Amino acid sequence: MTVISYTLEKCQKCMKCLHSCLTGAISLQDARVKIDSEKCTNCATCIEACVYQGLQAKGSTLADLENYQYKIALVSTAVVGECCTVDQVEELMMAIKKLGFDEVINLSGYDGAMYEEMIRYVGVNHQQTTLITSFCPVVNKLIEVKYPILLSNIVPMDNISEVAARSIRKREDMPKNTGIFLLCECVSKLTLAKYPYGNKYSEIDHAMVIADLFPQISRNLSTERLRSPVSDKGLYNVTANLYTKGFKDKNVVVADGLDKVVKALELAEFDRLKDCDLLFLSGCINGCIGGNLLWGNPFSSFNNVRKLAKKACETTVDISNNDLYGVVIASSFNEKRSLQNRLANFIKINEYVEKLPGFDCGACGFHSCRAMAEEILANRATLADCRVLRSNDKNESE
């Protein structure tokens, strides 16, 4: 599933998006950008690379609240990182409630419960293999697409927001027509809801871009507060620089930002992180508090969280450990080929790569010569589509 849409009218065919994509999900065919939903990780690097706003990602809007009798907002713990005191957090929660919600839940208590369970899980399972944890849909999809051999290393805990939504649905006093809205701190988490992108398995009804709501939230801010406990362990769970704090004698390696994540996964793939008990991965700098849909920045947010953690409570949401587990990776991609078949394909792809010029110029419309080789193997392109080879053949014939 990709949440990134292409706007033909604004596209200048500069191919910056094509070169920015980590997985080669973007190509330029028939004078328009095409996004392969099986490869797209929703990391939004292409959106950031496009200075013309030819690529966009939009969530649900406040107009969708009208479809429900009772409206609940799930506020990511990362959003709390925009505040540096508990009072500011409670003022922010009230400002969000005034948008039209009946109930506002900050997810730090659920994050705290997940953090405690992760410490227990690593203590029991750390000797078996290098465990990998990430609540970042980008990282999970990246592993799925490029490092499938590591799928079995992932700790099978579900996303925090989904855990919270399932728990809320079980409440006996919940009105029948209840809408649960996730206020997202990054583009990838727009996939964690039924709308607007159709995750039919989710208990969350709508995903909303928190940055789009900021002007209205800002106008609603006042000294009026909504009681909203903040869990210190929940803050650790979304902040890369604080994540190792509760693991004591365990060797936990943290990689934040996609460049570091890719490096860590390459090392793990070749079993070069043997001494690592847990590999914590986040696609955003400084963890979820660096989400690309927040109005602040990851560096100020880290300072805020560090101050806030000193005043936060130690309590977490009372939830069964079993309820914290679930399917962490869900997409249409499914690696069913045998190791022998994958190796045979790898050899064939390398044969095509050897025939291509290796410039990775993108003139063919693909991310790299290797990406084009993969398309040739899939019978979606030919060597004749390489402009460099065509030019060389033309020069030789002359």
**CATH number for the domain that contains residue 392:** 1.10.15.40
Mean predicted confidence (pLDDT) in 302-317: 93
pLDDT band for position 396 (cuts 50, 70, 90): low
Domain end (from 263, 289, 324)? 324
Range of the domain at 374: 337-398
Domain end (from 291, 324, 357)? 324
The pairing of beta strand 70-75 with beta strand 178-184: parallel
240 and 165 assigned to the same domain: yes
Q: Where are the alpha helices (DSSP H) in the chain?
A: 16-20, 45-49, 77-80, 86-97, 108-125, 137-146, 160-169, 210-220, 232-237, 258-269, 298-311, 339-355, 369-377, 387-397
SS3 content of the chain, % helix, strand, coil (to 5): 45, 15, 40
Q: What is the pLDDT of residues 124-157, one digit of tens each?
A: 887 767 899 988 999 999 999 889 889 989 999 9
Q: Which residues contact 133 (CB under 8 A, 6 or more apart)?
A: 118, 154, 155, 157, 278, 279, 280, 281
Average pLDDT, the chain: 90
19 and 141 assigned to the same domain: no
Flag whether 331 is in a domain.
no
Flag whether 312 is in a domain.
yes
291 and 398 assigned to the same domain: no
Flag whether 47 is in a domain.
yes
Q: Which two tokens stand for residue 97?
A: 């409630």
User: Does 398 have pLDDT greater than 70?
Assistant: no
Flag whether 255 is in a domain.
yes
What CATH number corresponds to the domain at position 7? 3.30.70.20
**What pLDDT, on a 0 to 100 scale, did the predictor assign at position 331?**
41
302 and 154 assigned to the same domain: yes
**What pLDDT, on a 0 to 100 scale, did the predictor assign at position 117?**
95
Flag whether 194 is in a domain.
yes
53 and 73 assigned to the same domain: no
Q: What is the pLDDT of residues 312-347, one digit of tens each?
A: 998 899 998 889 987 544 443 445 556 677 778 878
Flag whether 149 is in a domain.
yes
**What pLDDT, on a 0 to 100 scale, did the predictor assign at position 336?**
52
Structural domain count of the chain:
3
The pairing of beta strand 26-29 with beta strand 32-35: antiparallel
User: Is the CB of residue 302 less than 8 Å from the CB of residue 285?
Assistant: no
Domain end (from 57, 74, 99)? 57
pTM score, two decimals? 0.87
User: Is the CB of residue 147 less than 8 Å from the CB of residue 256?
Assistant: no
366 and 278 assigned to the same domain: no
154 and 21 assigned to the same domain: no
More confident residue, 395 or 230: 230
CA–CA separation, 179 and 101 (whole Å): 10
CA–CA separation, 291 and 66 (whole Å): 28
The pairing of beta strand 278-282 with beta strand 252-256: parallel
Return the top range by mean pLDDT from 18-27, 220-229, 267-276.
220-229
* Beta-carbon count within 10 A of 319 CB: 17
**What pLDDT, on a 0 to 100 scale, did the predictor assign at position 299?**
92
51 and 102 assigned to the same domain: no
Flag whether 332 is in a domain.
no
Q: Which residues contact 43 (CB under 8 A, 6 or more apart)?
A: 22, 138, 142, 187, 188, 258, 283
92 and 43 assigned to the same domain: no
241 and 96 assigned to the same domain: yes
253 and 361 assigned to the same domain: no
**What pLDDT, on a 0 to 100 scale, did the predictor assign at position 246?**
93
48 and 162 assigned to the same domain: no
Flag whether 136 is in a domain.
yes
**What pLDDT, on a 0 to 100 scale, did the predictor assign at position 96?**
98
pLDDT band for position 234 (cuts 50, 70, 90): very high
